[in-house]
Amino acid sequence: MAAKKRDPAKGPIATLHERIATRDTGWFFAQIADRVAERRTSMGMSQRDLAERCGTTQSAIARLERGGRPPRIDTLLKIAEALECELIVELQPRSS
């Protein structure tokens, strides 16, 4: 599977919002990335602070927040715990 080329003129946030708006296959993870970044900043935490609480690196948190790679479920669980959140994954039948 070939990787999508990123438009260098767009910033990472614009790219995430475009993925969400177009319901790209990565839209779900882009939505999570936005929520992680919003919660982290609302708690006054840096990426490094969050990384330390999760047992990962600052670069891994930055990569998640810019939609670089979908996180593993165990990583999401650690992030949710560090952000004092519940991780809820829900399966719903598709609308026809």
Q: Are 69 and 32 in contact (CB under 8 A)?
A: no
Which residue shows structure tokens 């882009």?
Answer: 30
Q: Please give the domain boundaries of the chain with CATH numbers for all domains.
A: 12-82 (1.10.260.40)
Global pTM?
0.67
Q: Are 67 and 24 in contact (CB under 8 A)?
A: no
> Which bin fits 35, alpha (ψ -120 to 50), beta or left (φ > 0)?
alpha
Structure confidence by residue, pLDDT tens digits, 30-49 = 788 999 999 999 999 999 99
What pLDDT score was predicted for residue 23? 55
User: Whole-angstrom Cα distance, residue 45 to residue 96?
Assistant: 42
User: Whole-angstrom Cα distance, residue 21 to residue 44?
Assistant: 28
Query: Amino acid identity, residue 37?
Result: A
Instruction: State yes or no: pLDDT of 11 exceeds 80.
Output: no
